[in-house]
Structure 1
Amino acid sequence: MVTFFLLALLFILLLVNPFPAMCQIGREGEWCLLHASIGISAMHMQLLHNNMVVMFGRTDFGPSNLSLPYGRYRYDSSDNVLKNDCTAHSLLYDTGTNTFRPLMVETDTWCSSGSVLPDGTLVQTGGYNDGDHVVRTLTPCNDESCDWVEFPGYLSERRWYATNQRLPDGRIIIIGGRRQFNYELYPRNSESSSSFWLEFLRETRDDDENNLYPFVHLLPDGNLFIFANTRAISLDYKQNRVVREFPSITVDDPRNYPSSGSSVLLPIDENEPIEAEVMECGGAPRGAFSKAKQGIFDAASRSCGRIKVMDENPSWAMVDMPMPRVMGDMILLPTGDVVIINGAGSGTAGWEIGQNPVT
């Protein structure tokens, strides 16, 4: 009887406050478990402008542990694992109420890419198998009316491991992908109805590829800084013209997938003369991906490079991190500092070929 009373009291408290007292949001220095399971694998996540978080993962790995509501199901004749699927592979999480609801994503988003439009709509492009030419959009809502809208065949080329960047006019540029040495724009207009060749992407592909998910930053002059493997250019996408080729980074370790390093455009002070500086950190030695698949795990790269891309004669300034790191994440803080977190100490990105977690 006492046990029943205590359980009932706990249930009432949870209804009043979905975050238990021992798990207050905002408390410094303490991790808090909000849900033991959300039912899906959050391969991709995006914070929306209404403080909702959309999460989604690949669809061709079998059912998830989150059911679709109202008898909905996904039929996919090209799925290699599950052609009839009543489970969700995406959800929308409400940070304010600590609740979530399933969303319907129909095509495979494995290693797709995305950007957010000025109106807050998330545009997700490409993926694998039946998803490689698809554009998906999700417009935020504060009720249960929004869900994924998919446009099959919209992309002119297969986009798997591509990079997206929002442009000053609100459009999105989609660059590269596996064996795709070109880029295209979303939404299309009469002048951009197809893809545009970019020889730089072909030149930077090596035996392990190492130019997938190229690093892209919008520069103050309106051009794009693109880094792939160990090289970088400035691209005038309006004229489809390489404006400048920068010197190769001086430590010859590839930095892009699968030798995945990380990249940031350092903060720009509008009150000072405009100076754009890019930093690349981590990666893996050349050939590390092929060796890791054979069970030989080379130490990751510990080097970071910085380059002032608007200098008359730009050059890389190199420094070493305290430890090697591949698959790390770099995030700019409001203070102007850069946090580097996560990753592995050896091997590369890929299926279980990264070793020695960096904690």
Structure 2
Amino acid sequence: MQLLHNNKVVMFDRTDFGPSNLSLPYGRCRYDPSDNVLKNDCTAHSLLYDTGTNTFRPLMVETDTWCSSGSVLPDGTLVQTGGYNDGDHVVRTLAPCNNESCDWVEFPGYLSERRWYATNQRLPDGRIIIIGGRRQFNYEFYPRNSESSSSFWLEFLRETRDDDENNLYPFVHLLPDGNLFIFANTRVISLDYKQNRVVREFPSITVDDPRNYPSSGSSVLLPIDENKPIEAEVMVCGGAPRGAFSRAKQGIFDAASRSCGRIKVTDENPSWAMEDMPMPRVMSDMILLPTGDVVIINGAGSGTAGWEIGQNPVTRPVIYKPHGVEDIRFSVMSPATRPRMYHSSAVLLTDGRVLVGGSNPHPYYNFTGVQYPTDLSWKPIHRPT
């Protein structure tokens, strides 16, 4: 899900699960001869939700967005890159509008490399950097220009890949000095993307649990007070023990990590300050609230990301107060009614609520007869006081 500048939320799902529960209008259909499930599909796999009127309309996405990545341009256009199969080299754009005219525009073959489980970050010049992806140890830019017409090698991504990968969807934050904070597996660097060089390697997080997909923790850049000397501090929470993905596929579900780490990367000699969440969590979402607090929501207490291998849903969101008293910064909210597992989502709305949706831990739409049925619902949770 992505909130657009006009207060509407775009949602999308992969295209090769078979028919969805939402028909495309005007007799439109998507024909894909390589689709193994449904070659002629007249249902939508994307929609635009109006948070003000609580209405939605279907959108037409042609190529597979499974495990794609995106970012919003300064003019409000959502740029979604990569995905699976026919979508892995595609760029898709969706410009916000207040009528019925806007829809996805797709540019097949635009990306120089396959981008599946990559991470996007908007840059100060308005471009987007697209980092990594499965077996892609490099990065590229959108839009391309004469100086960035191809991908650039990043050895750090190769070095952080282990037997379960655990370097996919790296955590990326833009730092005040213009460089990029990149966290993969348990390691951290600062990248000068203009010069294609690693400026610095920070200490590895001190609890040796991988944090990136499929161990799937989450991360935020904590709020920066521009009225004080600039300090940039990154927080990383959750994940899974090393080897958890392989063991989960064999039916052995390790407890997720409950550790969180904070590192002030603007310090001369930064180090990780560790503390524990009230419960372990993998596949979580972390969102900055307007108060400056952090909500940690969704996910599982054991296993990892992937089909059917997350167990013990964590239904209680957690609020973290970055400036609270150490050891009592966490507070636990009331439980939600639905498990939010693999590929669930959460996004902050302009009124301060958090919109939570999805959960589909199956290869196809499965609404009955499974432990965690496909969930096409979404719900705004009340903003915390």
* Shorter-chain TM band: 0.7 to 0.9
Q: Distance in 2 between matches of 1:222 and 1:75?
A: 44
For the Cα contact (< 8 Å) 1:212–1:256, is it kept in 2? yes
TM-score (norm 1): 0.87
1:115 aligns with 71
Q: CA deviation at 1:337?
A: 1.6
Q: Distance in 2 between matches of 1:115 and 1:145?
A: 21
Q: Distance in 2 between matches of 1:233 and 1:358?
A: 31
2:249 aligns with 293
Q: CA deviation at 1:131?
A: 0.2
For the Cα contact (< 8 Å) 1:265–1:276, is it kept in 2? yes
Q: Distance in 1 between matches of 2:267 and 2:159?
A: 25
Q: CA deviation at 1:334?
A: 2.0
Q: CA deviation at 1:254?
A: 0.1
Q: Distance in 2 between matches of 1:169 and 1:64?
A: 38
Structure 1 residues 112 and 142: alpha-carbon distance in aligned structure 2, compared to 1, 3 A threshold: same
1:191 aligns with 147
Q: Distance in 2 between matches of 1:340 and 1:72?
A: 39
Structure 1 residues 209 and 306: alpha-carbon distance in aligned structure 2, compared to 1, 3 A threshold: same
Q: Distance in 1 between matches of 2:104 and 2:111?
A: 17
Q: How is 1:1-359 mapped onto 2 (pairs within 5 angstroms)?
A: 45-359=1-315
Q: Distance in 1 between matches of 2:225 and 2:160?
A: 32
Q: Distance in 2 between matches of 1:319 and 1:75?
A: 51
Fraction of identical pairs, as percent:
96
Q: Distance in 1 between matches of 2:149 and 2:187?
A: 29
Q: CA deviation at 1:98?
A: 1.9
Q: CA deviation at 1:70?
A: 1.2
TM-score (norm 2): 0.81
SS at match of 1:244: strand
Q: Distance in 2 between matches of 1:352 and 1:101?
A: 30
Larger displacement relative to structure 2 (193-202 or 51-60): 51-60
Gaps of 5+ in 1: 1-44
Q: CA deviation at 1:142?
A: 0.7
Q: Distance in 2 between matches of 1:284 and 1:262?
A: 11
Q: Distance in 2 between matches of 1:258 and 1:50?
A: 33
For the Cα contact (< 8 Å) 1:78–1:129, is it kept in 2? no
SS at match of 1:200: helix
Deviations 1:227-252 (A, max 9, x none): 00000000000000000001111100
Deviations 1:101-154 (A, max 9, x none): 111100000010000000000000000000000000000111111110000000
Deviations 1:203-243 (A, max 9, x none): 00000000000000000000000000000000000000000
Deviations 1:41-98 (A, max 9, x none): xxxx111111111111000111112111112111112222111111111111122222
Gaps of 5+ in 2: 316-385
SS at match of 2:181: strand
Larger displacement relative to structure 2 (331-340 or 49-58): 331-340
Q: Distance in 2 between matches of 1:174 and 1:151?
A: 16
Deviations 1:2-43 (A, max 9, x none): xxxxxxxxxxxxxxxxxxxxxxxxxxxxxxxxxxxxxxxxxx
Q: Distance in 2 between matches of 1:212 and 1:130?
A: 20
SS at match of 1:272: coil
Q: Distance in 1 between matches of 2:258 and 2:58?
A: 40
Q: CA deviation at 1:335?
A: 2.0
- Give the aligned length: 315
For the Cα contact (< 8 Å) 1:284–1:326, is it kept in 2? yes
Q: Distance in 1 between matches of 2:285 and 2:258?
A: 14
Q: Which has more helix, going by share of residues?
A: 1
For the Cα contact (< 8 Å) 1:115–1:166, is it kept in 2? yes
Larger displacement relative to structure 2 (58-67 or 221-230): 58-67
Q: Which has the larger Rg? A: 1
Q: Distance in 2 between matches of 1:233 and 1:337?
A: 25
Q: Distance in 2 between matches of 1:333 and 1:48?
A: 17
Q: CA deviation at 1:99?
A: 1.6
For the Cα contact (< 8 Å) 1:132–1:159, is it kept in 2? yes
Q: Distance in 2 between matches of 1:105 and 1:301?
A: 36
